[in-house]
Amino acid sequence: MHIRTRGYDHPDAVKLNDQVQLEYAERYEDEGDATPLDASMFRPPRGLYVIAYDERDRPVATGGWRSQDENAEGYSDGDAELKRMYVVPEARGLGLARRILALLEDDARAAGRTRMVLETGDRQPEALALYASSGYAPCPKFGYYRHYPSSICYAKSLLP
């Protein structure tokens, strides 16, 4: 497996995003994640988007972070928001999400961000387990889904 930096609008990113949207829609019986996102949000140094490829060069996992600062949606100055963490079903259990998460944390830290935050949902037990085992703790809700009962928010300090 190898991880490459890609634009959020790269064809492989679009393909994986379509797949994760279908999974969200199935798990939550809705239309998927409606959080407004565009490729500019993930451009260094204010963000990063990566895709993991298997030995046959197929895109199998993705993740990104984008800068956030204090605003009406509950973010704080210095936040890096984790977005679009996803591993295709056939590549789950290989540690890809953990590798991508560590890479994104390191990159956000190097960019001067002080806290990694993320929003997930109560119907994603795999995500909840990954974040809890990676040092994330529940925090006050923020972002697009902050008023939804199924939303769960986590944070982790990026300070040394």
Q: What's the CATH architecture for 2-157?
A: 3-Layer(aba) Sandwich (3.40)
The pLDDT value recorded for residue 101 is 98
Q: Cβ neighbours of residue 135 under 8 Å, at least 6 residues apart?
A: 156
Q: Where are the domains of the chain?
A: 2-157
The pLDDT value recorded for residue 89 is 97
Supply 79's token pair: 């936040």
Q: Cβ neighbours of residue 29 under 8 Å, at least 6 residues apart?
A: none
Give residue 14's pLDDT band: very low, low, confident or very high (50, 70, 90): very high
The pLDDT value recorded for residue 150 is 93
- Within 10 angstroms of residue 101's Cβ, the number of other Cβ atoms is 21
The pLDDT value recorded for residue 80 is 98
The pLDDT value recorded for residue 121 is 94
d(CA 93, CA 83): 20
Supply 36's token pair: 């407004």
Helix (H) / strand (E) containing 115: strand 115-121
pTM given for the model: 0.95
Q: What radius of gyration do the chain's Cα atoms show?
A: 15
pLDDT 10s digits, 23-73: 999 999 887 888 999 999 999 999 999 999 999 999 999 999 999 999 999
The pLDDT value recorded for residue 32 is 80
pLDDT 10s digits, 95-136: 999 999 999 999 999 999 999 999 999 999 999 999 999 999
